[in-house]
């Protein structure tokens, strides 16, 4: 775990259970105390040590003196026509991050951010255009999930079922904090998510993919977006360091649990990577990789010169991959009206669309 703010009291939500055990041992406490405190931290509605009623008053005061518990309250909350909800959170250093809740018929999925901005520089991505500001701490990733659970519970919307690290940032460029956050999210005493319910998406940082695979059995998504190096080099600078052959080989040897597949994400950009030839090449190059393919028609943003492909090109692309035996889904992103769709997260204030309501944290509706 590495923290970006050093002069404040340690935030207990930055610690995995193992790290908390070491931390409380230094305060002269037994390991069972760490388990007790850790499970309090992730119960709904817990915001202060005074609520931890099975700890002595003396210990609660000592913890409050030496440590803190962070809690996220959305600074704004926007609801799309299609039900997608975008939360913005203002961090301690005033940086803004965004988190997107996608309710579906049978499940709720949360799209979690891992960095403020991104250093990877993919030309079509708004987060990339922001540049890199900083890594999120484990607690800043976990608190996005806690806040969404509070919201879902308050609205009686059921449970939070899936987590996808597909928000702002490149999660594998913030690997050690990501691994701590995953440990907290998957700990039975933490948020108790199964590894099957968590997906980490990467632009293709090969050494970090290997480390992630060794650390936990979460699902892996690869932002591929091209089947040949010439196009991928242009779209994603990371390809110059980790070219397609190497990336696809890393996918082939990625330790997948039984019945699991890697998700290949392919954003279709008009007249750039949407040709039938590119589809045929993709089919060839993905051979022997246990995968399913998500085709994502590009979400246009005024700031970037890329366009959505024609619907018939998207369908043709899918047909070619189907013909080669792949599972292929066309994923039309949701929440575009509130800039919550894939690649539209930039944590900046935009002028609201006319049909959009903005609900402030205090429940007041701004229109």
Residues of the shown chain interacting with ligand SF4 in the complex, contacts defined by CB under 6 A? 118, 120, 122, 125, 127-128, 169-170, 203, 223
> Is the separation of the CB atoms in 183 and 218 below 8 Å?
no
User: Per rule CB under 6 A, is residue 144 in the interface with ligand SAH?
Assistant: no
Q: Does the footprint of ligand SAH cover residue 143 (CB under 6 A)?
A: no
Give me the half-sphere count of Cα atoms (radius 13 Å) on the Cβ side of residue 84: 20
The reply to whether 298 sits near ligand SAH by the rule CB under 6 A is yes
* Contact status: 201 vs ligand SAH (CB under 6 A): yes
In angstroms, the CA 13 to CA 1 distance is 11
CB 201 within 8 A of CB 164: yes
| Residue 121 beta carbon to ligand SAH: minimum distance, rounded to whole angstroms | 11
Q: Phi first, then psi: what are they for 163, rounded to 5°?
A: -120, 130
Quote the CA–CA distance of 283 and 262 in Å, as a whole number.
15
Closest-by-Cβ residue to ligand SAH is 343
Q: Tell whether residue 163 is a contact of ligand SAH (CB under 6 A).
A: no
Nearer to ligand SAH, 327 or 357 (CB): 327
Rounded Cα distance between 100 and 86, Å, is 4
**Please, are residues 147 and 89 in contact by the beta-carbon 8 Å criterion?**
yes
Q: In whole angstroms, what is the distance from residue 320 CA to residue 230 CA?
A: 21
Q: How far is the CB of 66 from ligand SF4 (least distance, A)?
A: 36
**Residue 166 in the binding site for ligand SAH (CB under 6 A):** yes
Residue 269 CA to residue 314 CA, distance in Å, equals 10
**292: three-class secondary structure by DSSP:** strand
Please tell me whether residue 137 binds ligand SAH under the rule CB under 6 A: no
CB under 6 A: which stretch of 78-86, 119-127, 176-184, 349-357 binds ligand SAH?
A: 119-127
With a CB cutoff of 8 Å and minimum separation 6, the contacts of 241 are none
| Cα(40)–Cα(336) distance, integer angstroms | 37
Among 111, 251, 291, 342, which one carries the catalytic annotation? 342
Nearest distance in Å: CB 201, ligand SAH: 4
Residue 185 binds what, of ligand SF4, ligand SAH, none (CB under 5 to 8 Å, by partner type)?
none
3-state secondary structure of 176: helix
> What one-character DSSP code corresponds to residue 228?
S
CA distances from 361 to 43, 72, 107, 146, 340 (A): 20, 10, 24, 15, 18
- Is residue 202 within the footprint of ligand SAH (CB under 6 A)? yes
The stretch among 116-124, 313-321, 346-354, 355-363 that binds ligand SAH (CB under 6 A) is 116-124
Catalytic entry in 19, 78, 98, 140:
98
Binders of ligand SAH among 307-336, rule CB under 6 A?
A: 333
Residues 248 to 287 in contact with ligand SAH, rule: CB under 6 A: 265, 267
Distance (Å) of CA 268 to CA 63, 91, 287, 291: 51, 33, 20, 18
| Catalytic-residue membership of 98 | yes
- Tell me which residues in 209-228 interact with ligand SAH (CB under 6 A): 223
Based on CB atoms, which residue is closest to ligand SAH, 67 or 135?
135
Residue of the chain from 203, 212, 244, 295 that contacts ligand SAH (CB under 6 A): 203
* CB of residue 310 to ligand SF4, shortest distance in Å: 23
Separation CA 238–CA 243 (nearest Å): 8
| Contact assessment for residue 265 and residue 221, using Cβ atoms and an 8 Å cutoff | yes
d(CA 359, CA 367): 8
In the complex with ligand SF4, the residue whose CB is nearer, 189 or 225, is 225
Cβ proximity to ligand SF4: between 17 and 166 the closer is 166
- Count of residues binding ligand SAH (CB under 6 A)? 18
Which of residues 76 and 201 has its CB atom nearest to ligand SAH in the complex? 201
The binding site for ligand SAH (CB under 6 A) comprises 118, 122, 124-125, 166, 170, 201-203, 223, 265, 267, 296, 298-299, 333, 342-343
Which residues are catalytically annotated? 98, 342
């Amino acid at each position: 775990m590495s923290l970006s703010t050093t002069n404040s009291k340690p935030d207990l939500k930055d610690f995995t259970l193992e790290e908390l055990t070491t931390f409380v041992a230094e305060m002269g406490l037994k390991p069972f105390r760490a388990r007790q405190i850790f499970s309090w931290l992730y119960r709904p509605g817990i915001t202060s040590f005074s609520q931890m009623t099975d700890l002595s008053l003396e210990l609660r005061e000592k913890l409050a003196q030496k440590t803190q518990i962070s809690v996220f309250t959305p600074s704004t909350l926007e609801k799309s026509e299609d039900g997608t909800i975008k939360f913005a959170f203002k961090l301690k250093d005033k940086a803004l991050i965004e988190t997107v809740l996608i309710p579906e018929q049978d499940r709720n999925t949360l799209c979690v951010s891992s960095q403020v901005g991104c250093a990877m520089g993919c030309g079509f991505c708004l987060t990339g255009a922001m540049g890199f500001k900083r890594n999120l701490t484990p607690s800043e990733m976990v608190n996005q999930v806690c806040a969404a659970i509070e919201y879902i519970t308050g609205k009686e919307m059921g449970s939070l079922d899936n987590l996808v690290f597909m928000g702002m940032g490149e999660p594998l460029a913030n690997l050690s904090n990501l691994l701590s956050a995953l440990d907290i999210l998957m700990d039975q005493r933490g948020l108790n998510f199964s590894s099957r319910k968590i997906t980490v998406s990467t632009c293709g940082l090969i050494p970090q993919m290997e480390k992630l695979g060794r650390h936990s059995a979460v699902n892996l998504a690869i932002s591929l977006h091209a089947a040949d190096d010439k196009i991928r080099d242009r779209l994603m600078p990371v390809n110059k360091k980790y070219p397609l052959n190497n990336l696809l080989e890393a996918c082939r040897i990625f330790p997948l649990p039984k019945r699991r597949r890697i998700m290949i994400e392919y954003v279709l950009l008009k007249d750039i990577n949407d040709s039938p030839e590119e589809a045929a090449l993709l089919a060839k190059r993905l051979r022997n990789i246990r995968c399913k393919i998500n085709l994502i028609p590009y979400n246009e943003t005024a700031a970037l010169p890329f366009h959505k492909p024609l619907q018939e090109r998207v369908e043709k692309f899918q047909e070619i991959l189907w013909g080669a035996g792949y599972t292929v889904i066309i994923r039309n992103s949701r929440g575009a009206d509130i800039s919550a769709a894939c690649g539209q997260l930039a944590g900046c204030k935009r002028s609201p669309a006319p049909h959009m309501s903005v609900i402030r944290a205090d429940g007041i509706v701004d229109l």
